[in-house]
Amino acid sequence: MTILISGANGKVGTALTAQLKSRKLAYIALDHAQLDITNSAAIKQRLHEYRPSIIINTAAFTQVDIAEQQQEEAYRANALGAELLAQAAANQQIPIIHLSTDYVFSGDKPLAQSYVEDDATEPASVYGKSKLAGEQAVRNANAHHIIIRTAWLFDEHSDNFAKKLITAAKQQLDLPNPTLRIAANQYGCPTDTSDLASAIVHLLQTYASKATLPWGTYHYAGEPAISRLEWAQEILTTAQTHGLITRLPILAPTTDTYYIGSAPRPANSALNCTKIQQLFGIEPSQWRNGLRHLVQTFSTDNEISCSDKSS
Ligand SMILES: NC(=O)c1ccc[n+]([C@@H]2O[C@H](COP(=O)([O-])OP(=O)(O)OC[C@H]3O[C@@H](n4cnc5c(N)ncnc54)[C@H](OP(=O)(O)O)[C@@H]3O)[C@@H](O)[C@H]2O)c1
């Protein structure tokens, strides 16, 4: 079985490629320059060249805030690109695993509840709308699809909320009352990107052994769901435990977009992952383990800018 990955240089693409490599599974990893999913001739050429058994589409326009101004670009990659890839795959009877997001939901559910796959979608942001259009296009184009909605990805390699926060806390250590303002009105599921990659590998191995999958839409994210403010507390406490910061800054609850970004985001986008657990035996990501790993590998030489505004 040959697995073709699009968007291979992104967070999920990188984590997935690393796992496929370590498990010695045959894969073709194509980055944006090697395969632009909005270019149907390029897709056709790559599928002809590599004849993959299954495609994983991790390519996407993921800059949630920039998407508000660059609507056309967001729809081009997230909707048109997803459609072209799914359609070209269907033409050659190739199944596709496609990544989507918790931002397809409005976030209006009460905090004690989480979203199941069949809940009504109602995205508020351009990014969420473009991803929802991509989901619908993949469903229409290719019956043999798995759509995985995930959320709040983090890993030790790329820029993300956890790293931004640790960097900000370190920068404020010498101030008399270091204070970070964190959104208390966002609730969701931090997810270790490598756990998501493992979940995808599990699906691939199931496909390899059964030559089919229970096609459809699945949620995969971390547990337990928490608020951004609680997530910040967890990150900084873990950073202190591992000696990255000597004291904890004051975390001031806010409803603004500090460290997150200006596009509208769901208030509660907790994902219920029971379906993937029951059908495949795939357990939700335990984000505490991933967070420990991130903190352990975080080094001052590797501090990141505070420019990332991804989902
Ligand atoms: N990150 C999160 O917290 C999160 C949360 C929920 C869902 N997701 C979903 O998970 C998937 C993977 O996200 P990620 O975090 O890995 O994103 P990422 O790190 O931004 O990677 C996306 C990759 O797609 C590439 N790309 C963009 N347009 C493309 C095109 N037209 N053709 C081919 N490649 C293209 C990008 O390349 P360039 O940089 O060169 O453009 C980038 O390497 C996406 O579907 C995203 O919506 C992510």
- Angle, nearest 10°, between helix axes 161-171 and 287-297? 50
**Confidence at residue 262, expressed as pLDDT on a 0 to 100 scale:** 79
Closest Cα to atom 40, ligand 1: which residue? 32
**Confidence at residue 158, expressed as pLDDT on a 0 to 100 scale:** 84
Q: What would the pLDDT profile of 159-184 be if each residue is shown by its tens digit?
A: 888 998 999 999 988 888 889 988 88
Q: Which phi and psi (to 5°) does residue 97 adopt?
A: -105, 125
DSSP, residue by residue, 78-98: IIIIHHHHHHHHHHTT--EEE
Query: Are residues 111 and 268 in contact, defined by beta-carbon separation less than 8 angstroms?
Result: yes
Is the minimum distance from the CB of 188 to ligand 1 under 6 angstroms? no
Residue 39 binned pLDDT confidence (cut-offs 50, 70, 90) = very high
Upper half-sphere CA count for residue 131 (Cβ side, 13 Å): 31
Closest Cα to atom 26, ligand 1: which residue? 59
Report the separation in Å between the CA atom of 160 and the middle of ligand 1, taken as the mean of its atom positions: 13
Residue 246 to residue 10: CA distance in whole angstroms: 33
Which residues sit opposite 55 in a β-bridge? 4, 96
Residue 305 binned pLDDT confidence (cut-offs 50, 70, 90) = very low
Report the separation in Å between the CA atom of 36 and the middle of ligand 1, taken as the mean of its atom positions: 12
Residue 140 to residue 156: CA distance in whole angstroms: 36
- Tokens 């969701």 — which residue? 188
Domains in the chain, CATH or no CATH each: 3-156+192-225+269-286 (3.40.50.720)
Q: What would the pLDDT profile of 251-271 be if each residue is shown by its tens digit?
A: 998 876 555 667 899 999 999
Distance of CA 129 to the CA centre of its chain: 16
Report the separation in Å between the CA atom of 7 and the middle of ligand 1, taken as the mean of its atom positions: 6
Is the minimum distance from the CB of 219 to ligand 1 under 6 angstroms? no
Q: What would the pLDDT profile of 228-256 be if each residue is shown by its tens digit?
A: 999 999 999 999 999 999 999 999 988 76
Is the minimum distance from the CB of 11 to ligand 1 under 6 angstroms? yes
Give the sign of the dihedral formed by CA 252, CA 258, CA 263, CA 269.
Answer: negative
Residue 262 to residue 5: CA distance in whole angstroms: 31
**112 Cβ contact list (under 8 Å, min separation 6):** none
**172 Cβ contact list (under 8 Å, min separation 6):** 178, 179, 180, 249
pLDDT higher than threshold 90 for residue 24: yes
